[in-house]
Structure formats: C-alpha cells, structure tokens
Amino acid sequence: SYSEQIRNLLKQQGRWSGEVEARRGKDDFFLMELTIDAIYNEQEETSHYVGVFSDITRRKQQEEELRKLTNNDLLTGLPNRSSLQVTLS
C-alpha cells in the first residue's frame, strides 16, 4: 500500500516528501504537500516523526491555468502553435 511505501522510505532514508490528497470535512478534499522527518533518540532509534504540510490546491489550479494559456489561444480557446508542436513531436 501507499502508506507502507512511505513507512519503508522513512525507515531507509529518515525522510519522505510528496503530494497527498486529504479530506477536510465530509465531502471536501484538498491537495497538500507533505514532508515527514524521522526523529532519532540517543541510541539512533526512531523516537517519533514530525510532519509538515501545506495546502497546495491554489498552486495546482494556477499551474493548470498556465498550462492552458501556454497551449491554447487566449481569445478562442483553440490549440495554438505550442500545442501543435507538442502534438507533432
């Protein structure tokens, strides 16, 4: 499972970072960037984990808007030359 992969990476490297979909309320989901670090005791055993996250929903929306602007004509919404070159290659 995905959480098991994260645990394995934490054991091997002591750190994991990635994007995760999270729930805020019953039907409200958002995308977050999550970083988890293992904290070790004096015997170099894992004592606990610290996680830091931020909501990146707005950033992802802005990235998608930029992608559309790059590949579509602003006025007509039709694919532009950049989109054609990507399609041809």
pLDDT per residue over 3-60, tens digit each? 899 999 999 999 999 999 988 888 888 999 999 999 999 999 999 999 999 999 999 9
* Whether residue 68 is found in the same domain as residue 40: no
Domain count, the chain: 2
* Whether residue 50 is found in the same domain as residue 63: no
Task: Give helix 57-71 / helix 81-88 axis angle, nearest 10°.
Answer: 90
Q: What is the reported pLDDT for 61?
A: 92
* Whether residue 44 is found in the same domain as residue 81: no
Q: What is the reported pLDDT for 84?
A: 67
Question: In the block, which residue shows the tokens 């409200």?
Answer: 28
**Are 5 and 25 a contacting pair, CB within 8 Å?**
no
What does the DSSP assignment read for 53-89?
Answer: EEE-HHHHHHHHHHHHHHHB-TTT--B-HHHHHHHH-
* Whether residue 9 is found in the same domain as residue 48: yes
Which uninterrupted H or E stretch holds 11? helix 2-13
Please give the residue range of the domain that contains residue 83. Answer: 57-89
* Whether residue 16 is found in the same domain as residue 50: yes
